[in-house]
Amino acid sequence: MTVNSDSKIIHQYLDGLWLEKGLSSNTRESYARDLSAFAAWLAAESGAPLLDASQEQVMAFLAWRHSRHYSSRSTARLLSCLRGFYRYQIREGRLQADPLAHIDNPKLPRALPKLLTEADVEGLLRAPDVTDAVGLRDKAMLELLYACGLRVTELVGLTLPMLNLRQGVVRVLGKGSKERLVPLGEEAVYWLERYLREGRGSLLGTTSSDVLFPSTRAKQMTRQTFWHRIKHWAQLAGIEKPLSPHTLRHAFATHLLNHGADLRVVQLLLGHSDLSTTQIYTHVAQARMKSLHEVHHPRG
């Protein structure tokens, strides 16, 4: 009975949060996983439902996770999820006290993004074989990803109506269903035009779809598929650094700052709601400038 009642209240909470903030499907799945994991642990340990959890039980759950070497980052995400859940229940009148009221988040080290040099990016962008439809599609995707600093979910979710090549902009649907317009740049526009003219039709065949970058099955490409594609081209380009679609987003932001872009402009282009999220890239840019100074300054 506890499992069913917990499952129901989790889904009610996520539905309420979706209506209030517009959760992405990935965030919703992540919250559902974290809440279900705590509910399952609670039921196994004491038979208690989620709404009866005490501060001591939350602390015991955190200790259990620590004994199994969960990372501080995943624990911080879990606590954020639980805080939101219990505050919502208090607001709805289902609870009187928050079991996380006196529990602090773990302190996280500030992780600097893995940096691709401009030469690395140029090598990656040159790698796709543009003589076939798949290579041409991947080339256009990589050019667009680097030109606009998109998240991979934003990239694979693009449709034809979101692209305006005449004005040189793309309309992006970001986190929380927030829209932003991002300029494309001449190089990305050229490869998108060529891809639309020479490659997209071959991938779709007889299928009718407004997906901008269809898979070889004429459906919307998954994030995982594009991750494998980017690793494939990185290997061909001889790039040995850890690489993912998000690495190009980091490169986009860092290279803009290296060339003098304003931090608030980069924030808008990335779709960050908080400037502090963008500020991490200034540390990367400063580290790069410091290393250049050490190499090239006569007294470095």
Q: Report which listed range, 3-7, 134-138, 220-224, is most confident.
A: 134-138
Sheet containing 169-173, strands listed edge to edge, beginning at the edge strand earlier in sequence: 163-164, 169-173, 179-183
Asked if 204 and 218 count as a contact pair (C-beta separation under 8 A), the reply is: yes
CATH topology of domain 118-296: hpI Integrase; Chain A (1.10.443)
pLDDT surpassing 50 at residue 237? yes
For residue range 174-207, list pLDDT tens digits in order.
777 778 888 888 999 999 999 999 999 999 999 9
Q: What is the dihedral of CA 277, 281, 284, 286, to 10 degrees?
A: -110
Q: Which of 151, 200, 229, 250 is labelled catalytic?
A: 151
pLDDT surpassing 90 at residue 286? no
Q: Which of 200, 249, 250, 255 is labelled catalytic?
A: 249
> Is 151 part of the annotated catalytic residue set?
yes
> Is 249 part of the annotated catalytic residue set?
yes
For residue range 202-214, list pLDDT tens digits in order.
999 999 999 999 9
